Chain A
């Protein structure tokens, strides 16, 4: 089955700096890679996702890159703000329309220091 590894486990950045979180996956059949933000005691919130037919996707300060050959994908947050502080999870699965059983990474605690 799919296995997703995520690094780093914790990340501290200064406000305004960029943050990068990296994930690798094992199953070459996976073709959907969402990223979730979870605040303490709250539900995970989808912040961005990418499908395997593209290599990069951007939404304002957030971008995701995908390297299918190397089986890794990364989340990039630019101009970080204190409200970006949370736990971020990557995940991998088949495309949603084919029944996406998400396999999550271990999570990254992001702290943005003001």
Chain B
């Protein structure tokens, strides 16, 4: 199967600090990865599309300077939440599109629970 991992699985940080979340495709290549945010009892909202070797494309209303995305290799994308505030507390989920497989399916990571105190 296709496995996507995220690290850390949960993190608690103080207001004003920055947090980095990693998303890795373990057994396939992913030129495209997606970052979602999910608030409790709500749907997944796409934050940005991360493309290997180029700048990420952010969805309307998502601050690119606050949510820094780097996709440095075909298997790793990182999301850094800068100057985190309590309202950034959420479940962050990445997905990776299997571009080296015929079905090009998106595979989701297990998510990272961020709590900002």
Does B97 touch A at the CB level, under 8 Å?
Answer: yes
Flag B33-66 by CB within 8 Å of A: 1 or 0 each: 0100000001111100100000000000000000
Does A102 touch B at the CB level, under 8 Å?
Answer: yes
Does B110 touch A at the CB level, under 8 Å?
Answer: yes
Does A106 touch B at the CB level, under 8 Å?
Answer: yes
Residues of B within 8 A of A41 (CB): 91, 111, 113
A105, B43: Cβ atoms closer than 8 Å: yes
* Minimum Cβ distance to chain A for residue B97 (Å): 7
Does A101 touch B at the CB level, under 8 Å?
Answer: yes
B105, A43: Cβ atoms closer than 8 Å: no
Please classify how large the interface on chain B is, using the bins under 10, 10 to 19, 20 to 34, 35 or more. 20 to 34
CA distance A1 to B106 in the complex (A): 20
A-B residue pair count with CB separations less than 8 angstroms? 46
Does A16 touch B at the CB level, under 8 Å?
Answer: no
Interface of B, secondary structure class, is strand
Listed residue (B44, B46, B97, B103) with the most chain A CB atoms within 10 angstroms of its CB: B44
B111, A43: Cβ atoms closer than 8 Å: yes
A96, B44: Cβ atoms closer than 8 Å: no
Please classify how large the interface on chain A is, using the bins under 10, 10 to 19, 20 to 34, 35 or more. 10 to 19
Listed residue (A42, A44, A95) with the most chain B CB atoms within 10 angstroms of its CB: A44
A96, B104: Cβ atoms closer than 8 Å: yes
CA distance A45 to B34 in the complex (A): 15
Interface residues of A in 32-74 (CB under 8 A from B): 41-46
Q: Which B residues have a C-beta under 8 Å from some C-beta of A?
A: 32, 34, 42-46, 49, 91, 93, 97, 103-106, 108-111, 113
Task: List 10 A-B pairs, minimum CB-CB distance, nearest first.
Answer: A96-B104, A43-B108, A97-B104, A104-B43, A43-B110, A104-B44, A106-B43, A44-B108, A107-B43, A43-B111
